Structure 1
């Protein structure tokens, strides 16, 4: 009973107005009865009739009041409450009918106006959400486009600069600059596979101590060695949990991070590995991995071309039989050293070396044995000179040794060292041991032209031969004019011009 009253405004008003009215009427009747108690026998019937009339009047008034409250107040308020519930549930298009001009009608009209404003606000919010979603899609697309442009720019710059040189060291520097420093906060190491062993050797780094250069990694060792062996990209999301432990000191030794190793593949062969480190777990997204694989493909082609170029240059400058420099390389270096001598007034010497009695040995034991002697003598000569010196095969059984910044005394000491080295090696030649004769010419003491310098050294060599072989002679005035010598300046100059 009480809960139904609490939920109804009409019942509340009926109780608030009707009950006090009935009570007031009853009190009034009781007061009248007390005042007319002496006349009770005559008024008793009238009194009961009055009480009944008052009760009937109160009941009728209460009923009329309840109906009025029901239709004039309670039902409009219920419609307003139903409208509020529908609005709360999201039905912003619902409107409450305005049925009167009183306060409830004004309330219904204001409710409809408010609901219309809420509807407009909700519509604008939907439009704003759609606009925001569209803007987010545009921003995401813009970010993707910017990332693609950055990737294409990197690939374009890389391809443009990679084709600008065939020098391997410069090429590695370009890859390190564009890839190692161009992709953000990480350490980078470029490994090249060593010919013969297949080991990976660090050739260039970024974000690492330069002392790391030269570090050797075997195939299958660490992520880089694994990538080289499997010829596939290796992504270590967390170095603390992956069994392929890092080999290089990427970031404080055992610091956690992620490593990406991308092999440099060329015609199914691994020429090296690009290795990256970031001090965070799972730091290499899939799109960046694809980009670095594209970079590795371009770098692999460029590095292989540079290596082939080095091989071709080496072959063009190397004597195929002995492995020392050939005549072309000798005269090219002679020209450079002659320019330095003219500019800085330095000395320079050339030593011509001839294997004694080689023709007789070659005829007696065959060309294969003679070739073996030449290879061994060439190796001995290379092991007996300075790093700045150059040993070349001059022709047949003759070698030439270029001695930059060597005066006559230094040149003679070097020539004696060459002679002694071959003699001490005790190479058998059938009749004893292999020996050499050496002739020395010095720039500018003996000549200021290359052809004349070579002729001076040849004249000194001829003098060493005349002295009984296994000897060293420096050029002296008059040696060129010896009647038994077959060479002269003209023939040497022709050989220089021919370059072979």
Structure 2
């Protein structure tokens, strides 16, 4: 009989300690463990059952009092709980997700129950949840890409198109910084045509030759680039720069019939669920899809611009005419009001041109106008818009330029005109105006530049003047 009882107890102990469920018995009054299985002790982070039994399970292992309160309310109301999921803490303070089932034995002042470790299950659920959110986001991105195709192809103004591509790229790819660089055919440099999130000095000063910088290398190689972490990237490894919030970025080349026309740079992906994330292969495919659409739209815009140039250019100087000047100035002032960037206007007048024309004839006068037009195009940037205003007057719209910088440009142009071969001494007067302060309309800006030009004439010609505020 004793042997049978011993065997029974031994079998019970083996079952108790070797089951894959953590078993316990605790007092109702204070939650002190009276008995626990070996698995529960291990689960809670103890080296032995003896060490674990010293504990007060309700006080030591709950992360918050609200959960403990809910648990006890259910226990008291129903006499037990089934499949109660909660997060508790191990002995070392690390979190542990468990599924708890327990019963109250009031006559013995006991709570008996079983605990299953569901931490891995919870982690899998979180991963699945994050993946589902990510998939929904990617689906939304793709739908947006498809929806912008028709709109993009209908934009025929290159500046409008650049703004649209940048805006949609940042929206769809959920990024904080984006720039579109176009190739300057004359200098063979990449210049920033438009951007979001970049410093003004960076916009004005960045000019990359083929192979220079990462964007320049992408331009040479002609393939899109995804970098998840710049600091450990095999090809481009370097210290992350302070102006960027993340170490991940993408660059895609813009090609028209196989010829490079520019690149799009996307950086600083916005956080998801308060956590910074990297760009991934899906993001790169989406960027490439946007860029493919953009390349077709850029080709259309360039073709339209060529046709428009034929109808908006001056036949003598090959500069834009007065009609185009008015249209572009309105556009640039709209951009100024939207993005709060500087904008200046230069107004030029060839000194004593009427006398020169009368002395040497209209053919020589036209040749001189053409020579001045060539100087303007050579000395101004590709983003500047220079036009023949009327007679011997010219104007230049200078985006991203304040009046001080515009004055320097004017002085540089005056210096360049001194090397022109003319039949008699000729000079240039320049008026400068910046769209700021009380200047709120196109008319105000033109009038301000004209007044500054008049001042230059009055003070002796052959100089640059701007009005004081």
TM value normalised by structure 1: 0.43
Larger proportion of strand: 2
Question: Which structure has the bigger radius of gyration?
Answer: 1
Larger proportion of helix: 1
